[in-house]
Amino acid sequence: MDFNLSREHQLVRKMMAEFTENEVKPIAAETDKTSQYPRENIEKLFNLGVMGMCVPKEYGGAGADPLASAICIEELSKQCASTGDIVATHNGLCCDPIITHGTEAQKAKYLPMLTKGHKVGAFCLTESDAGSDAAKGQTEAKLDGDHYVLNGSKIFITNGYVADVFVVFAMTDKSKGTRGISAFIVESSFPGFSVGKHEEKMGLHGSPTAEIVFTDCIVPKENLLGQEGKGFKIAMQTLDGGRIGIAAQALGIAEGAMEEAMAYTKGRVQFGKPISKFQNTQFTFADMAMRSEAGRLLTYQAAVLKGEGKRFTKEAAMAKLFCSEHAMLTTTKALQMFGGYGYTKDYPLERMMRDAKITEIYEGTSEIQRVVISGNIGL
């Protein structure tokens, strides 16, 4: 088994590390402070081919594999988890289900928009009373001649107030439970589509999160994604892939926090020597490095399995669970090394710790990941 990255993947990492250092890091603190969507950098990422990078070349994408995508998200998240989140949502939760389940006509129309067309994508599943229990969703879609009429609302939608294309899940037959859920491709320009509340969050301030409202929203019949009643399966398959992106995001946050702490402790002198020379500090860094290596192996394994067309549900859940808990623990311990300075906004650790927390919650809480894992180990 070869654990070495290919030359192509090494080049992807180099490109994204340079972009993150030169373009993302300088504005990360201001992005968080102002809750400003990093529009210019997202446009640059479109130009680099990162947005929609796994889209096949014939539809305008780079034809990259899931591992390349994970590496991009990991590198971006080392300095700005908001930027990593925007990319992960666009690539994993919007482009991917259209690639996997779309008709030829849908792929030919929407994938070029989401790559060369610089249109941002989003994913609409969560509702106020339907979080982990997605089957409780109340948004309805009724067929009316040559179109569906959608009514309802979705909450906590990443990219919500900047996105142009949404993959939306709605009940086409409530009597069938999960088998009554269908998926649709919805454009923000469709009649009856509107953006509701803009969420003010604890972290990820640069990632635009909003409520999406459908009021007699007209969706062409041909925008049904997959078959009617198969939406729940599409949602779960999409979240499997999306969890690789969140694992990569969490891994990046942890790695960024460790790098910041190492630089700080080498320069901070107490009791006559840098605090990096104290054994307790070194043991803490050893644990961080070990968990990052383990998290990277889990994440890359899941990405490779996905790229090979093999089942990866368990592996993605393990990667997401491990890396998100690693990010939370690492940012907490790294902040502690800064003492009182870490609790101020003069350093990025408090931002990184706030950003890390959401990785334990969205795209399936840590509790849900344990349910997924236990259900896939033969119990």
- What is the token pair recorded at 170? 């709605």
State which H helix or E strand residue 142 sits in.
Answer: strand 140-144
Among 269, 281, 278, smallest CA distance to 337 is for 281
Catalytic entry in 199, 350, 363, 367: 363
Q: How far apart are CA 39 and CA 84, in angstroms?
A: 13
Q: Name the packing angle between helices 349-358 and 81-88 (round to 10°).
A: 30
- Strand 181-187 relative to strand 269-270: parallel, antiparallel, unpaired? unpaired
- Asked if 68 contacts 12 with a C-beta cutoff of 8 angstroms, the reply is yes
Instruction: Say how many C-beta atoms besides its own lie within 10 A of residue 197's C-beta.
Output: 14
State which H helix or E strand residue 105 sits in.
Answer: helix 104-113
Q: How far apart are CA 195 and CA 64, in angstroms?
A: 32
Q: Name the packing angle between helices 349-358 and 313-337 (round to 10°).
A: 160
Q: Indicate the residue type of 129.
A: D
State which H helix or E strand residue 30 sits in.
Answer: helix 25-34
140 is catalytic: no
Q: How far apart are CA 355 and CA 178, in angstroms?
A: 32
Q: Which residues are catalytic?
A: 363
